[in-house]
Amino acid sequence: MPPIPQTVIAIVADCDDTLAPDTTAQLLQHFKIKSKEFYENNVAELIDKGYDPSIAYMQAMLTLANDGPLKNLTQAEIQAFAKKVKWYPGIPEVFVKLEKEINDKYGKFGIRLEEYVITGGLADLIQASELGQVVEEIWGCNFAYDSTGKICGIKNVVSFTEKTKFLFSIEKGLRGVLRTNPYAVNQIQESEERPIPIRNMVYLGDGPSDVPCMSIVQKSKGYVIGILSDQRPYKTWALGYGRRANVTVPPDFRKGKHGWNQLREAVIQIADRIKAEFQPGQAGHVPKH
């Protein structure tokens, strides 16, 4: 297969504590559950027993759904609450504005911007929110539901290294495929056949669960923006001391703020590099490798 134009730029972001205060914690608080106690007691107890952190919080929620304050939690209620989720300043508007700027300045070269979310949070919750109306795809944890819509089991989880699977699916252009064909990510595809090479990606993350993706993006010449955590500074330590992020910024993406400036500059730099790879005057020409 001949090389294809690799003119798509992707912002790939974690969600909880990156784009918004922990969305699952917001859901729990809506049901009068103290999220701090939930994580420090219910979830920590399971982690101490060897549970994966993502499975642990979902199992703890299932326990509360069987006989507790979440006993009536349904998919419909999760999706209804999604409209009330609080985002960090500038989210999701920053994505819409940057898409327009890239299209206006670089659209004639076939360059465009897309956004994806890979999260250990609840995908159904985030998908039903205003963010879900903006980004191309969201991968996250999901509950199974019974015939009444009530949560009854764990359908899938996204753990630390699981996030990298979705990073590669973005690179290979497998949007919407993995839900019905989870093995598709393993298909053989030469680097020049991949629509969104990782060097065209900007990754946003806030802590240890993002480290595998951050490492891959950095090694592949992409750009990594770490999000500073005021509530849990040890997470930022993992990024800064481990040098997993190119830069760290506060969670504020309003125009003119540091988060906006760094994200915009990263996207513009990638767009300029892609443009320079084309033959002069040959808009839409396949990049030279």
| pLDDT digit string, tens, across residues 246-263 | 998 999 999 999 999 999
pLDDT of 239 above 60 = yes
Binning pLDDT at 50, 70 and 90, where does residue 238 land?
Answer: low
Angle at 139 between CA 133 and CA 140, to 5 degrees: 110
Buried b (16+ CB within 10 A) or exposed e, 27-56: bbeebebebeebbeebbeebeeeebbbbbb
What is the reported pLDDT for 282?
Answer: 47
Mean pLDDT of the region 70-81: 94
User: Could you tell me which residues are beta bridge partners of residue 153?
Assistant: 144
Mean pLDDT of the region 143-155: 96
What tens digit of pLDDT does each residue of 21-52 get?
999 999 999 999 999 999 999 999 999 999 99
Binning pLDDT at 50, 70 and 90, where does residue 172 land?
Answer: confident
pLDDT of 286 above 50 = no
pLDDT of 287 above 60 = no
C-alpha atoms less than 13 angstroms from C-alpha of 144 in its C-beta half-sphere: 7
Query: d(Cα 68, Cα 135) in Å, to the nearest integer?
Result: 34
What is the reported pLDDT for 51?
Answer: 96
Domains of the chain in sequence order: 8-20+87-276 (3.40.50.1000)
DSSP of 229-267, one letter per residue? Answer: -SS-HHHHHHHHTTT--SEEE-S--STTSHHHHHHHHHH
Query: d(Cα 273, Cα 289) in Å, to the nearest integer?
Result: 13
SS3 category, 227: strand
Query: d(Cα 19, Cα 259) in Å, to the nearest integer?
Result: 11
pLDDT of 151 above 50 = yes
Residue 50 region by backbone torsions, left for phi larger than 0, else alpha for psi between -120 and 50, else beta: left
Q: What are phi and psi of 272, to 5 degrees?
A: -65, -40
User: Could you tell me which residues are beta bridge partners of residue 145?
Assistant: 151
